């Protein structure tokens, strides 16, 4: 999901260039809005990469939507990019924290859905 038209176009081009257009889907929408609709529609995904703006509070909302909505398939992985100043835990969710990767001001947090 990407809201910015230029970045969305770059993502679509990259997916086609890598020959993944049969296996990947890109949406030009706000992540929280899309996840709410996807949950109601019964959509599921095996891999989700989320990169909400660092200054937003979307990270918690995205985690809650993925946890409650069953959008991430069992055994699926979620990678969230966020500020290294913000620590994200699994907080009793069905998404299990696997590992944090820190790169300067950036943190990548990897979750896996076990149940």
| pLDDT profile of the chain (115 residues), mean per 10 | 90 94 85 81 88 80 80 91 84 84 93 86
Q: Where are the beta strands (DSSP E) in 1-115?
A: 45-50, 72-83, 95-103, 106-113
* Residues 48/97/86/34 CA torsion (nearest 10 deg): 30
pLDDT at 88: 84
pLDDT at 92: 67
Please state, in angstroms and rounded to a whole number, the distance separating the CA atoms of residues 48 and 42: 16
Q: Which residue has the tokens 């946890």?
A: 67
What pLDDT was estimated at residue 19?
94
Domains delineated in the chain: 5-113 (3.40.50.150)
pLDDT of residue 102: 93
Measured CA to CA, the distance from residue 90 to residue 112 in angstroms comes to: 10
- Does this model's pTM top 0.75? yes
């Amino acid at each position: 999901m990407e809201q910015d038209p230029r970045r969305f176009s770059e993502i679509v081009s990259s997916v086609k260039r890598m020959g993944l257009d049969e296996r990947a889907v890109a949406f030009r929408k706000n992540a929280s809005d899309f996840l709410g609709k996807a949950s109601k529609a019964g959509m599921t995904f095996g891999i989700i990469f989320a990169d909400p703006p660092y200054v937003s509070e979307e990270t918690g909302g995205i985690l809650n939507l993925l946890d409650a909505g069953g959008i991430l398939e069992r055994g699926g992985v979620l990678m969230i990019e966020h500020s290294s100043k913000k620590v994200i835990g699994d907080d009793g969710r069905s998404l299990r924290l696997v590992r944090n990767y820190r790169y300067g001001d950036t943190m990548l947090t990897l979750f896996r859905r076990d149940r």
